[in-house]
Amino acid sequence: EPEVTQTPSHQVTQMGQEVILRCVPISNHLYFYWYRQILGQKVEFLVSFYNNEISEKSEIFDDQFSVERPDGSNFTLKIRSTKLEDSAMYFCASSEAFSGHQPQHFGDGTRLSIL
């Protein structure tokens, strides 16, 4: 069964450094998403991406965040200057583009630890 893959599984970074989290969505999917989950809390939406542009973003997704689809298979989340509160699990998801609703399928996440 096709799946969303994320790398690395764990990233440890010094505060103020830049990080790039990588995702390979399911190959025939056209919608892509990033969510985060702070330890013990619920999953929170960050951003959705379609047709090479952001379609929606949350208030969490401020100027330090950016997303990119650099080629036909990867989807990345960049955090420019990390803060301690950015420590969380970051999940990538993808779904088929369709006129109706389609479920989002999630990767197993990247655990980001900011020191």
Positions in the binding site for other proteins (CB under 8 A)? 4, 6, 31, 33, 35, 41-45, 48, 50, 55-56, 58, 91, 95, 99-109
Nearer to other proteins, 14 or 103 (CB): 103
Question: At closest approach, how far in Å is the CB of 41 from other proteins?
Answer: 8
Nearer to other proteins, 7 or 81 (CB): 7
Question: At closest approach, how far in Å is the CB of 51 from other proteins?
Answer: 9
Question: At closest approach, how far in Å is the CB of 28 from other proteins?
Answer: 16
Nearer to other proteins, 19 or 26 (CB): 26
Question: At closest approach, how far in Å is the CB of 14 from other proteins?
Answer: 24
SS (H, E, C) the chain: CCCCEEECCEEEECCCCCEEEEEECCCCCCEEEEEEECCCCCCEEEEEEECCEEEEECCCCCCCEEEECCCCCCEEEEECCCCHHHCEEEEEEEECCCCCCCCCEECCCEEEEEC
